[in-house]
Amino acid sequence: MENLIVIKVGGNTLNQLQPDFFRQLQSWLRQKKKILLLHGGGTKISELSQKLKLAVHKANGIRITDEKILEVTRLVLLGNTQPQLLQQLALHSLPALGLNAADQFLLQGDFLDKQRYGFVGKIKHVNFNLLEKILAKQIGVLAPLALTKSGQWLNVNGDSAAAEIAGLLKAEELYLLTDVPGVMSAGQVLPLLNQKKAADLQKTNVITTGMQPKILAAFHAIETGVSQVKITDHFYNSGTKIIQEGVNNNELTFSNL
């Protein structure tokens, strides 16, 4: 999709959005960019699950999702974090529309690994025509949930969902916004990261379990045609730019590792 920017906003980041975040969105809209925001809600999902005395388990950074956890996830994403983000956008006079998988089967998916993760999915198809019409007029605010062809709801990791959608729609840019300024090593942000270096950093536990799904998603986006992918906490920070093997490798500087 031409002029498309996909932005994943983590659940912890929603309460920390600064005025420059909204000014950047306004600037992009003036430039006729199409903007799709995907929002998380992991912390609130865990908090509500614990209040309901539901066990919270993760594997490889992915939330194990049974039927009860799935209901909690839908409740938090569609009833709490999405309205919260929509309210903030409205307060900054930004036109936005809340979206979910049930809107004309906007997001279709399939089980990631039902035996291992339960009702966790992977995005397989996006209703391109519907989304293009919506984004031509306003910002889309989308929850990371999918529906199977038979109508089963699936929980999707927010970073993975953003990367899959950005790849399927051939977005120009993907921003994975988090609560740290980028991929960190020895207290400094790594300006560039390729797969080989990421694998090395995972082996030495510099890249921890919490960051791994985000990095895997970022590389998937690059491999599926997204022109630029960044992991950062603010648009004005350079963050960590994800690059393919053999691309600008002479720019990689890891002397601080």
Question: Which residues line the annotated binding site for substrate?
Answer: 41-42, 63, 155
3-class SS shares of the chain: helix, strand, coil, % to 5: 40, 25, 35
User: Count of residues for the chain?
Assistant: 257
DSSP state of 64: -
Contact 242, 222 (CB under 8 A): yes
- Integer Cα distance of 128 and 70 in angstroms: 26
| Phi and psi at residue 111, to the nearest 5° | -60, 135
If DSSP codes are grouped into helix, strand and coil, which group holds residue 62?
strand
Computed over its alpha carbons, how large is the radius of gyration of the chain? 18
| Alpha helix positions (H), 81-211 | 82-91, 114-117, 128-135, 158-168, 195-203
Kind of pairing between the strands at 192-193 and 228-232: unpaired
Distance of CA 230 to the CA centre of its chain: 11
For residue 154, give Cα distances in angstroms to 127, 228, 242: 17, 28, 28
Residues annotated in a binding site: 41-42, 63, 155
Number of Cβ within 10 Å of residue 31's Cβ equals: 9
Structure tokens at 251: 């720019």
